[in-house]
A and B are shown apart, each in its own frame.
Chain A
């Protein structure tokens, strides 16, 4: 089966109590890495649960690998989706060996050799019980499981939160290896934007259940700029160029669209974190 997009969300809405995922349209092209960024409680996990059919949308439809996720075949399709959540929710009495036996029966294409290669590579003890694992070890085990059943799509939900930089770097390297195959794709959600900046081809920014933007990362960062200036100079910045502004340490700071602003202005390249900050905290004009 050929498809261009691994994930397609079309006008998806879902009410969860007071919170609303509102008219979300999102696409992950095959072979790409999409970073889902947003502050805590923005709706990243809910979006992932909608994609995995753990939540039913009120409106809209979702297709994963060209299959509607509400179809009866989607459960079988999950064999090709590896998931790493913000914590590894394995039973406490499970160890690496037992996890292998459980997962062997769960996933049709379970590759025992690959799994144990990862376990050895990550230095995970075979007999140590899950309840005695450190946070890093838990994520390593979860990653080993996710990468050992010939998945075409990896979904990581806040998988790097709480990890030290060394472990985050190891995880990033693993994800790079995964995407060497052009048929492999990754959806990674995080509020640690530095990880996403290194890894992702596309960035989707969610704020209070709404998708604010979904763009190619390089284009997103190249097309925006930060201007730091006084009030006088600020008056020369076109109104429609300003995405957000905040009062900085030494004056005003504006996130602008570069092509709408005179090149006379000295502009700094923003990071994803900057863009998120200006869009969430910033006002249109101060």
Chain B
């Protein structure tokens, strides 16, 4: 799988750098707008990697290599998980260094919320991308990103007090739901990534 991830990083290196830059801006500025942008760009990384694979018909070659179908699928998920983890760690370090107590905690929770949303977007969209191809899957990615990014911002605006009062419980639920969605998504994507076997 290392080779597959390396191949994807070579293909989308510019996008990865852009996501890191946006992540740093997101942490420093701490606005919902920058969070939504960074989240959307990170969520679309697996899609971009799959688009490159489609463009070069890499799958035709990969199916001759000693890779299991599950490895090919998982490499896309590892891409998004690694990106989210990196941004969250970076953000947590910056938040802990730059802010005290409540402010730092709020920012870290906010990062965790964004990370979960990013993973949720990918979890919903990646299986469709394997099934339908990147051209059609874009019609799924865009609405999901709008709903998650826009909805998340609207939720924070309207229910900020409630969310902050119950942040521990809400974040636990959010992380659990994200983990379940991820597991289901991986299973579905592995199933869908076998179209030629008939």
Contacts and interface: CB of A to CB of B under 8 A. Distances in A.
Given A90-B56, A94-B10, A102-B3, A52 B63 contact: yes
A92 B4 CA distance: 15
B101 interface: no
A49 B61 CA distance: 11
Interface of A: 14-16, 49, 52, 54-56, 75-79, 81, 83, 85, 87-94, 98, 101-108, 155
Contact of B56 (A89, A98, A104, A155): A89
B81 to A, nearest CB: 19
A90 B3 CA distance: 12
Q: Is the interface of A mostly helix, strand, loop or mixed?
A: mixed
A78 B60 contact: no
A49 B196 contact: yes
Contacts of B13: 93
Contact of A89 (B3, B60, B198): B60
Given A78-B64, A105-B6, A91 B52 contact: yes
Contacts of B67: 75, 106
A231 to B, nearest CB: 49
A265 B180 CA distance: 78
B197 A106 contact: no
A105 B66 contact: no
Contact of B61 (A89, A104, A107): A89
Contacts of B86: none
A91 B64 contact: no
A100 B171 CA distance: 43
In the A-B complex, list the 10 residue pairs whose CB atoms are closest, starting with the nearest: A105-B3, A78-B66, A105-B2, A83-B64, A89-B61, A106-B3, A54-B63, A102-B3, A89-B57, A56-B197
Contacts of B61: 83, 85, 88-90
A119 B64 CA distance: 21
Contacts of A155: 64
B7 interface: yes
B65 A91 contact: no
* Listed residue (A87, A93, A107) with the most chain B CB atoms within 10 angstroms of its CB: A93
Interface string B60-76: 11011111100000000
